[in-house]
Amino acid sequence: MSVRIHPSILSADFVNFERDFLTIANSDSIHVDVMDGHFVPNLTFGLPMVARMQEITPKPLDVHLMIENVDLLAERYSDTGAASVTFHAEASQDSVDLARRIRACGSKVGIAVKPGTSLDMILQTLDEFDMVLVMTVEPGFGGQPLIEDCLEKVAIARSAIDRAGLNVLLQVDGGIDDTNIARVASYGADTFVAGSSVFKSENRAARIDSLRELASHPLARH
């Protein structure tokens, strides 16, 4: 299982994205947190910014939508050329229909669940998605500690993906750092979002490499 590290630019300098993107050139993808101030109690940026980011970096963009009205808006993020668009199960009225529409626009599609949301609402339709995102903090802010209780959901998602023989990435987002990534990997995650851990590091490229290395050697679970 190959490990992917996706730095979250929520912890980058919002008026120096171009400069900051260059510091994470060895990442696998750039995780772009779109927040509308309604679905989550924080506001970041919207379509014009994501479209512009696409122009200034050759890296794939992994867009994480934390917005209401996602059924109306998600395809437009795909139209910017985003490599993947992930939306929250809690925000969509018809996640299978939306997933199909996003794929038809040319992006991979992910489905995210907040810490309090059961995986039951997505496990039957995993084959409609390219990625499952198990949030390991309440979405909205960077720099929060990982919620340990979420890791059991990572294990459940891993079993469901493997049992069905699906080619679906399993992403975790929130509180991932060099002290816990090997343990989180042991629950079966393969795609790791890291915001503050990367951007607050003095050598971001080295931090990305070390996170990737640590996640490649999952610790035994007790």
- Catalog residues that contact ligand DX5 under the rule CB under 6 A: 8, 10-11, 31, 33, 64, 137, 139-140, 142-144, 173-176, 193-197
Closest distance between ligand DX5 and the C-beta of residue 128, in Å?
Answer: 22
Nearer to Zn ion (CB atom), residue 133 or residue 185 = 133
What one-character DSSP code corresponds to residue 125?
A: T
Please pick, among 33, 36, 62, 177, the residue that the annotation labels catalytic. Answer: 33
Closest distance between ligand DX5 and the C-beta of residue 104, in Å?
Answer: 25
- Binding partner of residue 109 among Zn ion, ligand DX5, none, CB cut-off 5 to 8 Å per kind: none
Nearer to ligand DX5 (CB atom), residue 174 or residue 188 = 174
Q: How far is it, in rounded angstroms, from Cα 64 to Cα 61?
A: 9
Q: Could you confirm whether 173 is annotated as catalytic?
A: yes
Report phi then psi at 197, rounded to 5: -60, -40
Nearest residue to 196 (alpha-carbon basis) of 206, 185, 207: 207
Residue nearest to ligand DX5 (CB): 195
Closest distance between ligand DX5 and the C-beta of residue 63, in Å?
Answer: 11
Name the site residues for Zn ion (rule: CB under 5 A): 33, 64, 173
Closest distance between ligand DX5 and the C-beta of residue 175, in Å?
Answer: 5
Q: Are 215 and 180 within 8 A, CB to CB? A: no
SS3 147: coil
- Binding partner of residue 175 among Zn ion, ligand DX5, none, CB cut-off 5 to 8 Å per kind: ligand DX5
SS3 13: coil
Torsion of CA 154, 217, 11, 54, to 10 degrees: -90
Q: Could you confirm whether 33 is annotated as catalytic?
A: yes
- Binding partner of residue 140 among ligand DX5, Zn ion, none, CB cut-off 5 to 8 Å per kind: ligand DX5
Per the structure block, which two tokens stand in for 180? 């816990």
Q: How far is CA 52 from CA 8, 46, 85, 193, in A?
A: 17, 10, 16, 21
- Which residues belong to the active site? 33, 173
